[in-house]
């Protein structure tokens, strides 16, 4: 049986927002609310949280009125998060937030008209599985096996939506089945410049999979000359994504595998299914929006552009709206149906759970 872990007062606003989204997704009414959140935040059933709600100066437990105020503040923060998601994603957000009545409604799945919503649901479900918020069942374990490959599709769609150019899905295993060097030659033959080594020299890894690069994307100028918008990205669907910055691979990638590098400059990127601020606790001094912005500023120094759940669905929606000829230049665009099928399979399993 599959279960959805309940949040507590010590969870972040993003974690609680995910809980309300998942609750609305799997509810027969397609709704979740403040009342439902307060129900799972009942302090009488959470000793750990009760002990954590203390006066910082005296160390004494807070009285019931203060605890109630704390709970109300948690609800407000959670719905602020939901409204932020709705504002960021627009039509790519599969829920409708009623801030006044503090309810959340699932808008349903219309893949042909709103492909970004399907990508959002994939990222939401993948995050919940990776973070063990959804637990139990061999069927769920089987579904989890498809997360990495389908997220690679989402990453390519997002890169294509941003650059409106060409995308090579380079992450391993590749749909083409090509080994590393042949796949690299194919990608940079399309890129139009860069001479890939004819063979792997002794001393270099002989069984290299992707060299730390999952997404290669670029946008041409009409003259198709070297010197163009060029992105190298890592697609990381798991919890260890912070140990996978593509920045550390770029110079090695260009320096080791080419006899003539395709470019001197590129934009490094990281693709993750989680909101970047998913672990961010409420700040002690600044408002949350300022702390969230500062987090992006800080992590950009290490990862380059970070495509998270607040960006990927919107960009994927743009990509899926391109003409057939434009989508043909974006590898993995023809695998969007795989993402759709994964979401269908996952939701069917979870709705049959508890």
Claim to verify: residue 342 and residue 245 sit in the same structural domain = yes
In a domain, 142, yes or no: no
Euclidean distance between CA atoms 309 and 276, whole angstroms: 8
Where a domain ends, among 56, 81, 108?
108
Range of the domain at 164: 147-351
Claim to verify: residue 169 and residue 60 sit in the same structural domain = no
Claim to verify: residue 41 and residue 178 sit in the same structural domain = no
How confident is the model at residue 340, as a pLDDT? Answer: 97
Claim to verify: residue 335 and residue 224 sit in the same structural domain = yes
Of all residues in the chain, the percent with pLDDT exceeding 90 is 72
- Find the mean pLDDT for residues 265-292: 96
Claim to verify: residue 209 and residue 318 sit in the same structural domain = yes
In a domain, 127, yes or no: no
CA angle 316, 176, 303 (to 5 degrees): 45
- Cβ atoms of 38 and 20 within 8 Å: the answer is no
Claim to verify: residue 154 and residue 251 sit in the same structural domain = yes
* 229 three-class SS: strand
Query: Please, which pLDDT band fits residue 2 given cuts at 50, 70 and 90?
Result: confident
Token pair for 281: 């606790």
- Find the mean pLDDT for residues 344-354: 81
Mean residue pLDDT across the chain: 89
Query: Please, which pLDDT band fits residue 207 given cuts at 50, 70 and 90?
Result: low
Least confident of 17-21, 120-124, 139-143, 163-167: 139-143
126 pLDDT higher than 80: yes
- Cβ atoms of 58 and 25 within 8 Å: the answer is no
Query: Please, which pLDDT band fits residue 135 given cuts at 50, 70 and 90?
Result: confident
Claim to verify: residue 199 and residue 104 sit in the same structural domain = no
Reference 17, options 3, 45, 36; nearest CA is 36
Claim to verify: residue 30 and residue 178 sit in the same structural domain = no
**Beta pairing partners, 215:** 169, 233
Length of the chain: 354
In a domain, 205, yes or no: yes
Claim to verify: residue 329 and residue 250 sit in the same structural domain = yes
Q: Give the best-scoring range by mean pLDDT among 61-65, 128-132, 246-250.
A: 128-132
Where a domain ends, among 108, 126, 160?
108
DSSP state, residue 104: E
Claim to verify: residue 309 and residue 178 sit in the same structural domain = yes
Query: Please, which pLDDT band fits residue 68 given cuts at 50, 70 and 90?
Result: low
In a domain, 116, yes or no: no
Displacement of CA 290 from its chain's centroid (Å): 21
In a domain, 121, yes or no: no
Where a domain ends, among 78, 108, 138?
108
Residue 91: CA atoms inside 13 Å, Cβ hemisphere, count? 11
- Find the mean pLDDT for residues 34-47: 73
* Rg of the chain over all Cα atoms, to the nearest angstrom: 22
**329 Cβ contact list (under 8 Å, min separation 6):** 160, 165, 166, 167
**13 Cβ contact list (under 8 Å, min separation 6):** 74, 77, 78, 80, 81, 282, 288
Euclidean distance between CA atoms 316 and 343, whole angstroms: 16
Euclidean distance between CA atoms 306 and 339, whole angstroms: 21
In a domain, 125, yes or no: no
- Find the mean pLDDT for residues 290-310: 97
Query: Please, which pLDDT band fits residue 158 given cuts at 50, 70 and 90?
Result: very high
- Its pTM stands at 0.91
- Longest CA span, the chain: 73
**Where is 10: in which H helix or E strand?**
none
Reference 292, options 304, 277, 275, 272; nearest CA is 277
Reference 234, options 219, 220, 249; nearest CA is 249
In a domain, 156, yes or no: yes
Number of domains into which the chain is organized: 2
In a domain, 139, yes or no: no
More reliable by pLDDT, 30 or 48:
30
Respond yes or no on whether the N-terminal peptide bond of residue 283 is cis (omega within 30° of 0).
no
How confident is the model at residue 47, as a pLDDT? Answer: 45
279 pLDDT higher than 90: yes
How confident is the model at residue 244, as a pLDDT? Answer: 86
Euclidean distance between CA atoms 152 and 168, whole angstroms: 11
- Cβ atoms of 20 and 82 within 8 Å: the answer is yes
**223 Cβ contact list (under 8 Å, min separation 6):** none
Claim to verify: residue 347 and residue 225 sit in the same structural domain = yes
Claim to verify: residue 97 and residue 230 sit in the same structural domain = no
194 pLDDT higher than 70: yes
Euclidean distance between CA atoms 144 and 141, whole angstroms: 5
Token pair for 87: 């504002």
Euclidean distance between CA atoms 319 and 333, whole angstroms: 8
Reported as a single tens digit per residue, the pLDDT across 90-112 is 999 999 999 999 999 999 999 99
59 pLDDT higher than 70: no
48 pLDDT higher than 50: no
More reliable by pLDDT, 43 or 306:
306
Going from the C-alpha of 267 to that of each of 3, 154, 204, the distances in angstroms are 40, 19, 25
């Amino acid at each position: 049986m599959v279960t959805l872990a309940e949040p507590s007062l010590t969870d972040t606003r993003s974690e609680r927002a995910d809980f309300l989204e998942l609750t609305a997704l799997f509810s027969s009414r397609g709704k979740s609310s403040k009342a439902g959140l307060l129900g799972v935040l009942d302090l009488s059933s959470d000793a750990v949280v009760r002990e954590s709600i203390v006066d910082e100066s005296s160390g004494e437990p807070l009285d019931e009125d203060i605890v109630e105020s704390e709970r109300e503040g948690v609800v407000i923060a959670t719905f602020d998060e939901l409204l932020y998601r709705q504002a960021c994603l627009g039509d790519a957000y599969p829920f409708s937030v009623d801030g006044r009545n503090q309810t959340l409604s699932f808008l349903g799945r219309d893949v042909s008209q709103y492909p970004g919503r399907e990508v959002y649901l994939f990222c939401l479900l993948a995050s919940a599985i990776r973070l063990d918020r959804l637990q139990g069942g061999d069927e769920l374990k089987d579904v989890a096996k498809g997360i990495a490959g389908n997220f690679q599709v989402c990453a390519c769609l997002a890169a294509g939506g941003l650059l409106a150019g060409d995308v090579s899905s380079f992450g391993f295993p590749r749909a083409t089945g090509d080994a590393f060097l042949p796949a690299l030659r194919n990608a940079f033959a399309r890129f139009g410049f860069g001479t890939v080594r004819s063979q792997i020299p002794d001393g270099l890894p002989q069984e290299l999979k992707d060299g730390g690069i999952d997404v290669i994307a670029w946008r041409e100028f009409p003259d198709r000359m070297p010197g163009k918008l060029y992105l190298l990205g890592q697609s990381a669907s798991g919890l260890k994504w912070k140990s996978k910055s593509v920045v550390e691979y770029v110079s090695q990638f260009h320096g080791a595998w080419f006899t003539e590098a395709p470019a001197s400059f590129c934009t490094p990127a990281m693709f993750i299914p989680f909101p970047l601020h998913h672990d961010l606790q409420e700040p002690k001094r600044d408002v949350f929006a300022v702390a969230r912005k500062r987090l992006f500023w800080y992590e950009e120094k290490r990862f380059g552009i970070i495509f998270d759940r607040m960006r990927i669905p919107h960009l994927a929606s743009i990509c899926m709206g391109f003409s057939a000829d434009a989508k043909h230049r974006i590898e993995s665009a023809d695998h969007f149906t795989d993402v759709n099928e994964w979401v269908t399979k996952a939701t069917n399993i979870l709705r049959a759970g508890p």
